[in-house]
Amino acid sequence: MTRRWTIICLLSALWLPLQLKAAAIMVNEYRNTGGTVGPGTKMVRDEYIEFVITETITAAGLASLSFGDANDATSMLQGVFRFDQATLDQALTNANLSSFLPGTIIVVKGVNLGAQSLAYDPLNGGWSFELVAGQGARDHGETLINGNINFGNNGEVVWISSSNPPARNSDTSGFIHAIGHDNAPGLIATTVAAAFGSENILASTVTTGRSIANTGDTTESLVSSTTATMGQPNGGLNTTWIEGLRSASPDVNAVPEPSRSLMTMIGMMALQSQRHRRKGGPHA
Ligand SMILES: [Ca+2]
Ligand SMILES: [Ca+2]
Ligand SMILES: [Ca+2]
């Protein structure tokens, strides 16, 4: 093997994790209970997943993703779900928006956690909406991998993937984000820790009645907690970060006058400096 080929291989290996990090949506929390799967729902009735949107994304963009969980040994993928686009379109219509804004929280929940809620309205402070498993969040139609979403005490990985659906129950190639827990990580948990950072897998088993929640930002700080914050930021830095994403959204906050005049001034100064440079001839 030539030296050039070795360099290409090394560069590819470096590039891959960086590419994986570019996620428009992240898993923010999941709730483990001792409940069971309801008939046809394919998800435990009182468990939930919470996603946070970090970059503006359309309904079609979200509907092109798949998400799910792993088995208790975190050695293979288990349930494979997708977002239903018609449901997402309805949430956007309700919000009078054409895409989902950064800071939005999407809940996917079991049938016992209340009716589906599409009352998405960020322009008036309504930053979350809730999809019921089997309704706005469905088992993936191409059931190459056919399991129920069921969070385990021994281990779990909750993932979201651009691969629709993953080709095999070991296919992590499309993962854009994942978090989990396991005191003895299997293949899926090990791959996630290598791709996204060891902080994405809590090195512990958990008991039922607990949430695994990110109390950090894009760099996870996972905690296991009895507190459930379904549809809400997880406190601490996580809340600061999500509120920051929301307040930075141009759709929500029109630029106030002082900032606008400041921007105009900066623009004029830049133009002036450009003209000055042209007059001064070429620069070294
Ligand atoms: Ca469980
Ligand atoms: Ca599981
Ligand atoms: Ca939460």
User: Would the pTM of this model clear 0.85, i.e. be above it?
Assistant: no
Backbone angles phi, psi at 112, to 5 degrees: -85, -5
The token pair that represents 1 in the structure block: 């093997």
The length of the chain, given as a count of residues: 284
Tell me the CA–centroid distance for residue 148 and ligand 3, in Å: 22
Ligand approaching nearest to the C-alpha of 207: 1
Per-residue model confidence as pLDDT tens for the chain (284 residues): 455 544 444 444 444 444 444 589 999 999 999 999 988 888 999 999 999 999 999 999 999 999 999 999 999 999 999 999 999 999 999 999 999 999 999 999 999 999 999 999 999 999 999 999 999 999 887 766 778 999 999 999 999 999 878 888 999 999 999 999 999 999 999 999 999 999 999 999 999 999 999 999 999 999 999 999 999 999 999 999 999 999 998 767 544 434 444 444 444 555 555 555 444 444 43
Tell me the CA–centroid distance for residue 95 and ligand 1, in Å: 33
The predicted pLDDT at position 22 comes to 52
Who surrounds ion ligand 2 at CB < 5 A? 69, 78, 150, 152
Ligand approaching nearest to the C-alpha of 169: 2
Tell me the CA–centroid distance for residue 150 and ligand 1, in Å: 5
Ligand approaching nearest to the C-alpha of 36: 1
Q: Can you give the chain as a three-state secondary structure string?
A: CCHHHHHHHHHHHHHHHHHHHCCCEEEEEEEECCCCECCCCCEECCCEEEEEECCCECHHHHHCCEEEEECCCCCCEEEEEEECHHHHHHHHHHHCCCCECCCCEEEEECHHHCCCECCCEHHHCECEEEEEECCCEEECCCCCCCCCECCCCCEEEEEEECCCCCCCCCCCCCEEEEEEEECCCCHHHHHHHHHHCHHHEECCCCCCCEEEEECCCCCCCEEEECCCCCCCCCCHHHHHHHHHHHHCCCCCCCCCHHHHHHHHHHHHHHHHHHHHHHHCCCCC
Cβ atoms of 139 and 81 closer than 8 Å: yes
Tell me the CA–centroid distance for residue 105 and ligand 2, in Å: 22
The predicted pLDDT at position 273 comes to 52
